[in-house]
Amino acid sequence: MKSNSVQDIYPFLKFSPGNRSDYLPPNYYDSIIKPYSVKGTEDFKCITDSILSLPDSATVVELGGGSGRVTRHATDLLDEKQASYHVNDLSPAMVSILKDNFPRTNVYELDHLAFLEKIPKVVDSIDYIFSLWSLSHSLQQEIEKCGYEKAYDRFYSVLQDIIDKMKPKSEITIIHFDLTTPEQAICQRQYGKYFAEFNPKTLMSGQAPSKRILDRTIELLRSDGSVTFEVQRVSGDPIYYENSSEALEVLMNFHMEGEFNSHVDLEEIVAEVLDDIKSHTLEDGRVVISTGWYLYRIFVNTAAAEISRFKSGA
């Protein structure tokens, strides 16, 4: 059986991302994304308390607005605070939707690192930064482009400059996926075969290279007194799929970003993913896959922020 016959059986495998910036069209993205939650509370609620505690006229930075799922929640909470809101996305289609739906926000068509490099040049100070899930994608793209060490060097430099613009006791909230969950293990089986940085023989700590960059960066920033941080391993509610076909679509097109849909080994890849899905399938045909992630809360130290302000002459 040829790979194109697999695409006949599963037409959604004919989707091809073309490039990294538009890997999913917005409407399709919204139609297949599954809500991530803990005891019924959706993942994005983790930013609620931090946003409600912000002062009036706060400056808020969101990394990766996508189609606006979290942007809506954040801007609704900020409605009466007259906040300055800045959000980016690499996808021109997503940027267009963000601009249409959130006309009072500042929207940038940039990847995360370029966005973080730009923000200190356009704002006087920052009260809050958050990134739910998408930072890992941006870091991974940087690793693929220039290698792990150069990606780390750039991220560390960028975060240092951002902290220089953040107010004392301000916060950065980040959600990063956990590669060891059953959900991500299915993806890892394929990434490990075709991407050197995900090869199980070289994969340090069992976690993604992007998480290692994040951990390494904030630990160094803590050691020099710039930040303190908390990291919580969150066990999410399981994701339910109506059948194996739906699970395959979400895993191949959302989690793996359509990366393998044009691959010469597509038939083998699909067979392996379906085999993995089978172990999570109930008697009624539904598929239930456990999830989990890491929640980072990074706090700028008062002394470090005051030193940065003194250096800048603020």
Q: pLDDT tens digit string along 3-39?
A: 458 999 999 999 887 666 667 889 999 999 999 999 9
Express each pLDDT in 90-103 by its tens digit.
999 999 999 999 99
- Distance of alpha carbon 293 from alpha carbon 291, whole angstroms: 7
Neighbours of 145 (CB within 10 A): 12
Burial of 20 (0-12, 13-18, 19+ CB in 10 A): middle
**Residue whose C-alpha is closest to residue 214's, from 304, 305, 294:** 294
In terms of CATH architecture, what is 26-181+197-238+292-312?
3-Layer(aba) Sandwich (3.40)
Phi-psi region of 258 (alpha: psi -120 to 50; beta: other; left: phi over 0): left
Model confidence at 203, pLDDT cuts 50, 70, 90, reads confident
Q: Which two tokens stand for residue 159?
A: 């975060």
Rounded average pLDDT over 181-199: 93
Lowest mean pLDDT among 170-184, 194-208, 213-227, 258-272: 194-208
State the amino acid at position 150 in one-letter form: K
> pLDDT at residue 302 above 80?
no
- Distance of alpha carbon 177 from alpha carbon 194, whole angstroms: 20
Give buried/exposed letters for 157-185 (b at 16+ CB in 10 A, else e): ebbeebbbbbbeebbbbbbbbbbebbbbb
Average pLDDT, the chain: 92
Is 170 in a helix, a strand, or coil? strand
What's the pLDDT score for residue 20?
62
- Distance of alpha carbon 259 from alpha carbon 23, whole angstroms: 9
- Distance of alpha carbon 227 from alpha carbon 218, whole angstroms: 8
Domain ranges of the chain: 26-181+197-238+292-312
What's the pLDDT score for residue 312?
44
> pLDDT at residue 313 above 80?
no
- Distance of alpha carbon 286 from alpha carbon 242, whole angstroms: 5
What's the pLDDT score for residue 19?
65
> pLDDT at residue 309 above 70?
no
Rounded average pLDDT over 49-58: 96
**Positive or negative torsion for Cα 209, 215, 216, 217:** positive
pTM above 0.75, yes or no: yes
Note the Cα 246 to chain centre separation in Å.
22
> pLDDT at residue 120 above 90?
yes
Express each pLDDT in 288-300 by its tens digit.
999 999 999 999 9
